[in-house]
Amino acid sequence: MIDPKTVPSFKLNNGGSIPCIGMGTFGSDRVTPEEVAGAVAGGIRVGYRLFDCAACYGNEDQIGKVFKAAFDEGVVARKDLFIMSKVWNDMHRRVRESCLKTIADLQCDYLDMLFIHWPFPNYHAPFCDVDSRNPDSKPFSVAEFLDTYRQIEALVDEGLVRHIGISNMTIPKLNAVLDKLRIKPAACESELHPCFQQQELFDYLVARDILPIGYMPLGSPRRPERDILPEDLADMQMPELVEIAKAHDCHPAIICLKWALQRGQLPIPFSVHNYEANLRAAVTEKLTDEEMATIATLERGNRLVKGQVFLWPGANDWHDLWDEDGVIVSCPDA
């Protein structure tokens, strides 16, 4: 058990605060909803207070039973948890309905943060493979994104959501929307790990007081088949990282988390077997400046979630999703 009071927090741009590390809840098509819920139950008891959920993970109802039991048994009060969820791509025109279902499933009365999971409405079926394509997929549209975002702003006004999050954004997309938002996003969830540091995006967010939240902080060794390509690197096997882990007598996972925290991003590692050790990473000795500098050199452009399954008819390849030339690819209204 780690006393949650000893776990540092990040300040959010509207004055709230958020624990500096959370538990991911995506079973990656490999871990059942029951097992994920079991990890959440254990996570609460070892001191996690932040949980990263999503409608499309298909396990919010199971996790909700765990939250309810923890509240009823007095293990933790609702106000002491920070519960995040995400609107899935097929609900962008029905955000309130999606949010109400998530709140009912999670049995949590309100959400501390609701994210737009992806900035476009392109839907893929659960368990789909890498070649799966939805013919209804479309490129990013500023107007459609703003419409989705405004529905979440209305949920903040209504008291159902405390903070707004965005996810899987690029700098060109952020440039196109940020000055049009009434309520500033508190956080942006992006893929961030030692071999994929997204330094430019990271700096952009920090400069605008939007908290970077890092998903796949360990390089997601058991990610879904659709996100595995032969050229992908395994962050936790990088020799430099293994060396640093040896010096600290810990698993390389713990070094990835310490690096994330010291860099200033909030990691949300998923684990059913190692979650207590991961939380402890936030309260034990720090990496040295030299170790931080070594990990900074591990950037390899190793994007793991390429997002092929979200491509629209006529798109070239997954690079089109990430606006790598500084303009939003095929955007009808940028």
Ligand X SMILES: NC(=O)c1ccc[n+]([C@@H]2O[C@H](COP(=O)([O-])OP(=O)(O)OC[C@H]3O[C@@H](n4cnc5c(N)ncnc54)[C@H](OP(=O)(O)O)[C@@H]3O)[C@@H](O)[C@H]2O)c1
326 C-beta neighbours (distance < 10 Å), count = 9
Q: What is the sign, positive or negative, of the torsion defined by CA atoms of 283, 284, 289, 290?
A: negative
Q: What are phi and psi of 150, to 5 degrees?
A: -65, -30
Angle at which helices 239-248 and 289-296 cross, to 10°: 160
C-alpha neighbours within 13 Å on the C-beta side of residue 247: 13
| Residue 149 is a catalytic residue | no
- Cβ contacts of 203-206, under 8 Å, gap ≥ 24: 204/171, 204/174, 206/264
Using rule CB under 6 A, residue 262 touches ligand X: no
- For residue 34, the minimal CB distance to ligand X (Å) is 14
Using an 8 Å Cβ cutoff, are 200 and 243 in contact? no
Q: Give the binding range for ligand X (CB under 6 A) out of 7-15, 175-183, 219-227, 318-326.
A: 219-227
Using rule CB under 6 A, residue 42 touches ligand X: no
Using rule CB under 6 A, residue 26 touches ligand X: yes
Q: Which is nearer to ligand X, 289 or 304 (CB)?
A: 304
Using rule CB under 6 A, residue 167 touches ligand X: yes
DSSP 133: -
Using rule CB under 6 A, residue 83 touches ligand X: no
Q: Give the binding range for ligand X (CB under 6 A) out of 2-10, 102-110, 265-273, 306-314.
A: 265-273
Among 103, 177, 211, 216, binds ligand X (CB under 6 A): 216
274 C-beta neighbours (distance < 10 Å), count = 15
- For residue 74, the minimal CB distance to ligand X (Å) is 27
Among 68, 251, 300, 319, binds ligand X (CB under 6 A): 251
**Residues found near ligand X in the complex (CB under 6 A):** 24-26, 28, 52, 117, 167-168, 189, 215-223, 251, 253-254, 268-274, 277-278, 305
